[in-house]
Copies of this chain bind each other. A is one copy, B any other.
Amino acid sequence: MKMVIAVVQDQDSNRLSNALTQADFRATKLASTGGFLRAGNTTFLVGTNDDNVPSLLQLIRDNCRARDQLVAPISPMGGNADAYIPYPVEVEVGGATVFVLPIEQFHHF
């Protein structure tokens, strides 16, 4: 039995949640901030059998992997529009930091 702790960006949190439920993993979600990833993330706690750890990790990777995304930059307020053409820029979004911890006992009351 393992405890998998995954810190993922908020924008991937719902998709991961649904994917976990569909795959019969039970997760507890905690609102968290900062650090491993940019502010605004969710910490998932998932208890699982040793045998299921690889498929859980694959599921987290599939739903939360860091990837580049084109975003429209914020135009300067009241700026000279002629002097500033807001090309979309590529930013990295997503990403997950995952820890697998040993569990000595698991109970369900």
Interface residues of A (CB under 8 A from B): 2-3, 5, 7, 17, 20, 26-36, 41, 43, 45-47, 53, 57, 60-61, 64-66, 95-109
Chain B: minimal CB distance from A73 (Å): 25
Chain B: minimal CB distance from A30 (Å): 5
Which residue in B20, B29, B41, B60 is a CB contact (below 8 Å) of A33? B29
Copies in the complex: 3
Is there contact, CB below 8 Å, between B102 and A101? yes
A49, B83: Cα distance in complex, Å: 48
Is there contact, CB below 8 Å, between B47 and A99? yes
A19, B3: Cα distance in complex, Å: 26
Additional A-B contacts beyond A7-B45, A60-B109, A100-B107 (9; CB < 8 A): A7-B28, A29-B32, A30-B31, A30-B32, A96-B107, A97-B108, A101-B103, A101-B104, A102-B102
Chain B: minimal CB distance from A58 (Å): 10
Chain B: minimal CB distance from A18 (Å): 11
